[in-house]
Amino acid sequence: MAVSDLSAREQVSNSATQTIRLIIADDSSVYRDGLANLLSMQRDFHVLGTADTPSSAAEVIRESKPDIVLLGWPASSQGSQRVFGAIQDGKSTTRVIMLSDDQAKEDFVEAVRQGCCGIVPKRTSTELLLKSIRKVHAGEFWLDRVTTAEVIRKLAKKGSGGNNGGNSSRLGVRDQSGALSQREREIVILVAQGFKNKEMAERMFISEQTVKNHLHNIFDKLGVSDRLELALYAIHHNLHEG
């Protein structure tokens, strides 16, 4: 087990901007340490440490309760599940961003179900990585267009089976689904399964404008900004099963 503790660096003052406390978990020392050095240069970031094994990552998470964990292991791996378990057991508000490689597409839906609030390709630009961290810390979901399309495509292809195992409790996103009407719940299910407005209108025997009106009300009630974020919300809170 190897844990690189970078906490000797003075934490940036919180008076001007909120400091984002991070942990980086990945088995590549070159990638892990390079990313730690890059993020440490940001005035609003504080890298608490890095971990090269699931056990060391779980230990650091339990001890420091970071705001963000950058997770380099596939969501379906035992390593990632151990990390999510540590967050859940500690009743932490820690949010997870999955750092994905080109072979991780099959894991995207599983990542969302496990509780990831963001999925960022390891080859992404520095600018987008920094932006994703700040957005997720602010309570938003982060997926690029390609990743989002892949998640929706797989949901539409495989259906919406699976259970999030209560992962919504550790997302820092409050479940407001109790405010939805039955018709609104039906629309949420169809959005999560990849249906477009016109297709939903035809299936539900209503006009496309009525679908848009329902979506507007759903966005307001759940606090999401668009249909893609709604699909992720539905998976997180297990609203996607029809």
Give 23-39 as a DSSP string.
Answer: EEE-S-HHHHHHHHHHH
Q: Which residue has the higher pLDDT, 239 or 1?
A: 239
Q: Is-contact 25 51, C-beta < 8 A?
A: yes
Superfamily of domain 3-140: Response regulator (3.40.50.2300)
Domain with CATH 3.40.50.2300 in the chain: 3-140
Q: How far apart are CA 139 and CA 136, in angstroms?
A: 5
Q: Is-contact 167 115, C-beta < 8 A?
A: yes
Q: Mean pLDDT over all residues of the chain?
A: 80
Instruction: Tell me how far CA of residue 3 lies from CA of 70, 76, 136, in angstroms.
Output: 15, 23, 24
Q: Is-contact 71 101, C-beta < 8 A?
A: no
Query: What percent of the chain clears pLDDT 90, i.e. is strictly above it?
Result: 39
Just give the CATH number of 162-236: 1.10.10.10
Tens digit of each residue's pLDDT (9 = 90 or more) over 74-100: 888 888 888 888 888 877 789 999 998
Q: How far apart are CA 10 and CA 7, in angstroms?
A: 7
Structure confidence at residue 13 (pLDDT): 39
For the ranges 15-19, 37-41, 211-215, 224-228, which has the lowest average pLDDT? 15-19
Instruction: Please determine, for residue 162, whether its predicted confidence score (pLDDT) is greater than 80.
Output: no
Q: How far apart are CA 204 and CA 47, in angstroms?
A: 49
Q: How far apart are CA 36 and CA 21, in angstroms?
A: 12
Q: Which has the closest alpha carbon to 99: 123, 135, 65?
A: 123
Helix, strand, coil percent values for the chain (each to nearest 5): 50, 15, 35
Q: How far apart are CA 187 and CA 107, in angstroms?
A: 25
Q: How far apart are CA 48 and CA 3, in angstroms?
A: 10
pLDDT category at 174 given cuts 50, 70, 90 is: low
Q: Is-contact 71 97, C-beta < 8 A?
A: yes
Residues in CB range of 167: below 8 A, 6 or more apart: 84, 88, 113, 114, 115, 236
CA angle 9–13–15, rounded 5-degree value: 170
Helices (runs of H) and strands (runs of E) counted in the chain: 10, 7
Q: How far apart are CA 25 and CA 49, in angstroms?
A: 9
